[in-house]
């Protein structure tokens, strides 16, 4: 039951989705939905994770039909029907949120019912609105449909033929822009990913010749920007830096022609370029710029419907907290909570524990750690890491040694990810050396912790550096 398609759908629902779906099922417009309301009312009790061991078809059947004998065919039929209603709900919800799509479908209906004057007037109003706002990719297709609607029914005289020709040319232009943008985004992603793979992509440039010649591109500022983004990943050298500088010059104009979805894409690519440049050139030249792009991307993401991976969410919050940008960390934590694609509660509680550790609200940090259910890999590792750091902050040094001992056993049993082995050993060595230096004032331990902090992948480096600096100032 817990691995069924229905549970996968319900797991992806936000709190608002769950409430709205219940209303959707009870709506008199959908007579079928009311048949499944009682089943949904029982299932939703197990949310939002739906991982309770007692969640089963038998349990649900007994709750719905307490006086009847269990019938597997009946419960399977109800689950299949409820799954279908969930699909219908998500489709209608998506359409309801897309005001442009609703308007265009209404205008198509109006033209079919011969409300030509009304339809043409509203179509022109929509086209005018699009000309004064930054366009999403799908808006280009909307423009194609709108100009196509204006062109329909024309052709009775020379003047109407002329207007029809103009509108058909604009439909072609809209489709050209849409296809070009989609191709350039896909090719930019491919080239960025290929940075570490080294595949030959020249055949794609041969197919899409405008990728190698800026002059062949349509006149559209967004497309020019995407061309510069694509060109970034040809190599990490002075030429690519020149393209990056061109993008920065265009940045003040972003609000004019980039939607929030576009900004997420653009800043994501810029962030990846900064990361790859520093890795390929063994430098930290773009370190601060990378974080700036990350912040811009997250800020734009708040205004979209994009999801964020649990790992990406944790990493962004950790980076913000490590840089002591606490207000921003809280803002992103709360704003993107509903967008986390997996292990939502554990991910959020871990990030809150991490945040409260750094702002020295240790009791709150303990409270959030105690809420974790260890639903994702490495959760047992990172809980022990935060516990050890909290014990250090609160002077419970003996508990740190118990943590280290249990950590070593856990470490030996969980070698699923190579990077986890490196991070785990580094953390154990760091917290042990720091604790020995704090309690024994050992010069050898000081040398050891300073050596470890010089390594590139030392976890929680900012925290260790701050604690060491505090101890040295206080002459521990």
Q: What is the pLDDT of residues 129-182, one digit of tens each?
A: 888 788 888 888 888 888 888 777 554 556 667 777 777 888 888 888 888 888
Q: How far is CA 133 from CA 127, 130, 255, 271, in A?
A: 10, 5, 9, 26
Instruction: Report if residue 116 sits inside a domain.
Output: yes
**143 closest CA partner among 168, 113, 109:** 168
Of 193-207, 243-257, 393-407, the poorest mean pLDDT is in 193-207
Instruction: Report if residue 437 sits inside a domain.
Output: yes
pTM: 0.73
Q: What is the pLDDT of residues 338-365, one digit of tens each?
A: 889 888 888 999 999 999 999 999 999 9
Last residue of a domain, one of 97, 114, 142: 97
Mean pLDDT of 101-122: 87
Mean pLDDT of 15-39: 81
Instruction: Report if residue 140 sits inside a domain.
Output: yes
Beta bridge partners of 175: none
If you search the block for the tokens 């995407």, which residue do you land on? 226
Residues 6+ apart with CB under 8 A from 244: 232, 270, 273
Name which residue leads in pLDDT, 167 or 414: 167
Amino acid 159: pLDDT: 66
Last residue of a domain, one of 130, 163, 180: 180
Last residue of a domain, one of 133, 152, 180: 180
Amino acid 418: pLDDT: 45
Instruction: Report if residue 201 sits inside a domain.
Output: no
Return contacts of 348-354, CB within 8 angstroms, 24+ apart.
Answer: 350/314, 350/379, 350/382, 350/383, 350/386, 351/313, 351/314, 351/317, 351/318, 353/386, 354/317, 354/318, 354/321, 354/386
Q: Does one domain contain both 83 and 106?
A: no
Q: Does one domain contain both 382 and 457?
A: yes
| Strands (E) located in 66-200 | none
Q: What is the pLDDT of residues 217-254, one digit of tens each?
A: 877 888 889 999 998 988 888 889 999 999 999 998 88
**pLDDT band at 378; cut points 50, 70, 90:** low
CA 184 – CA 220 distance, rounded (Å): 13
Burial class, 400, CB count within 10 angstroms (exposed 0-12 / middle 13-18 / buried 19+): buried
Q: Does one domain contain both 473 and 386?
A: yes
Mean pLDDT of 120-136: 86
CA 186 – CA 437 distance, rounded (Å): 52
Mean pLDDT of 10-23: 85
Q: What percent of the chain has pLDDT over 90?
A: 40
**pLDDT band at 379; cut points 50, 70, 90:** low
CA 259 – CA 264 distance, rounded (Å): 9
Amino acid 438: pLDDT: 93
Please give the full DSSP string across 84-121, using - where no structure is assigned: HHHHHHHHHHHHHH-HHHHHHHHHHHHHHTT-HHHHHH
**Which of 57-61, 141-145, 403-407 is the most confident on average?**
57-61
Has residue 417 got a pLDDT over 50? no
Write down the mean pLDDT value for the chain: 86
Amino acid 155: pLDDT: 47
Domain that holds residue 68: 5-97
Q: Does one domain contain both 37 and 87?
A: yes
Q: What is the pLDDT of residues 205-218, one digit of tens each?
A: 777 777 777 787 87
Q: What is the pLDDT of residues 253-274, one digit of tens each?
A: 888 889 999 999 999 999 999 9
Amino acid 198: pLDDT: 72
Query: What does the DSSP 8-state code read for residue 133?
Result: S
Q: Does one domain contain both 143 and 79?
A: no
Q: Does one domain contain both 105 and 87?
A: no
Give how far the C-alpha of residue 427 lies from the chain's centroid of Cα atoms, to the nearest Å. 28
CA 123 – CA 377 distance, rounded (Å): 52
**434 closest CA partner among 415, 453, 417:** 453
Q: What is the pLDDT of residues 439-466, one digit of tens each?
A: 998 899 999 999 999 887 788 998 999 9
Q: Does one domain contain both 386 and 451?
A: yes
Q: What is the pLDDT of residues 273-289, one digit of tens each?
A: 999 998 888 888 999 99
Q: Does one domain contain both 79 and 156?
A: no
Instruction: Work out the number of other CB atoms within 10 angstroms of the CB of residue 394.
Output: 13
**289 closest CA partner among 278, 281, 299, 298:** 278
Return contacts of 79-83, CB within 8 angstroms, 24+ apart.
Answer: 79/4, 79/6, 79/39, 81/32, 81/35, 81/36, 82/6, 82/36, 82/39, 82/40, 82/43, 83/4, 83/5, 83/6, 83/9
Has residue 24 got a pLDDT over 70? yes
Instruction: Report if residue 158 sits inside a domain.
Output: yes
CA 448 – CA 434 distance, rounded (Å): 9
CA 336 – CA 317 distance, rounded (Å): 11
Q: No. of H helices and E strands in the chain?
A: 24, 0
- As for how many domains the chain has, the answer is 3
Q: How many CA atoms lie within 13 A of 459 on its CB side?
A: 21
Q: Does one domain contain both 84 and 104?
A: no
Q: Does one domain contain both 464 and 384?
A: yes
Instruction: Report if residue 441 sits inside a domain.
Output: yes
CA 229 – CA 188 distance, rounded (Å): 7
Instruction: Report if residue 300 sits inside a domain.
Output: no
Instruction: Report if residue 232 sits inside a domain.
Output: no
Q: Does one domain contain both 15 and 77?
A: yes
Q: Does one domain contain both 141 and 125?
A: yes
Amino acid 419: pLDDT: 46
Mean pLDDT of 97-107: 87
Amino acid 415: pLDDT: 55
If you search the block for the tokens 């897309």, which residue do you land on? 98
């Amino acid at each position: 039951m817990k691995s069924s398609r229905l549970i996968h759908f319900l797991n992806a629902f936000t709190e608002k989705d769950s409430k709205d779906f219940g209303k959707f099922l009870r709506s008199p417009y959908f007579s079928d939905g009311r048949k499944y309301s009682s089943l949904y009312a029982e299932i939703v009790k197990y949310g939002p994770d739906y991982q309770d061991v007692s969640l089963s078809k038998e349990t649900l059947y007994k709750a719905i039909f307490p006086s009847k004998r269990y019938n597997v065919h009946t419960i399977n039929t109800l689950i299949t029907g409820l799954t279908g209603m969930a699909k219908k709900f998500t489709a209608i919800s998506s359409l309801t949120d897309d005001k442009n799509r609703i308007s265009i479908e209404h205008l198509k209906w109006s033209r079919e019912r011969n409300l030509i004057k009304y339809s043409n007037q509203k179509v022109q109003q929509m086209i005018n609105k699009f000309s004064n706002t930054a366009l999403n990719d799908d808006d280009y297709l909307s423009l194609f449909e709108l100009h196509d609607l204006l062109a329909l029914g024309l052709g009775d005289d020379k003047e109407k033929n002329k207007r029809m020709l103009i509108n058909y040319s604009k439909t072609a232009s809209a489709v050209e822009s849409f296809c070009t943008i989609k191709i350039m985004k896909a090719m930019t992603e491919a080239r960025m990913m290929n940075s570490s793979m080294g595949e030959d992509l020249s055949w794609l440039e041969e197919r899409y010749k405008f990728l190698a010649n800026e002059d062949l591109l349509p006149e559209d500022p967004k497309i020019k920007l995407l061309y510069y983004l694509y060109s970034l990943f040809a190599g990490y050298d002075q030429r690519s830096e020149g393209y990056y500088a061109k993008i920065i010059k265009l940045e003040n104009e972003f609000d004019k022609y980039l939607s929030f979805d576009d900004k997420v894409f653009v800043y994501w690519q810029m962030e990846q370029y900064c990361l790859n440049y520093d890795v390929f050139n063994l430098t930290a030249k773009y370190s601060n710029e990378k974080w700036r792009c990350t912040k811009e991307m997250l800020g734009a993401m708040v205004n979209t419907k994009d999801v964020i991976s649990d790992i990406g969410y944790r990493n962004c919050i950790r980076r913000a907290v490590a840089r002591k940008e606490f207000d921003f960390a809280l803002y992103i934590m709360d704003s993107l909570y509903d967008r986390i694609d997996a292990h939502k509660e554990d991910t959020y509680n871990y990030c809150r524990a991490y945040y409260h550790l750094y702002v020295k609200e240790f009791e709150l940090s303990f409270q959030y750690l105690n809420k974790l259910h260890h639903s994702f890999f490495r959760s047992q590792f990172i809980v022990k890491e935060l516990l050890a750091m909290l014990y250090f902050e609160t002077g419970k040094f003996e508990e740190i040694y118990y943590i280290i001992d249990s950590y070593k056993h856990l470490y030996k049993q969980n070698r699923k990810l190579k990077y986890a082995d490196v991070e785990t050993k580094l953390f154990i060595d760091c917290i042990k050396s720091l604790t020995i230096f704090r309690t024994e004032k050992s010069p050898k331990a000081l040398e050891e912790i300073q050596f470890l902090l010089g390594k590139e992948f030392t976890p929680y480096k900012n925290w260790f550096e701050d604690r060491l600096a505090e101890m040295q100032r206080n002459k521990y």
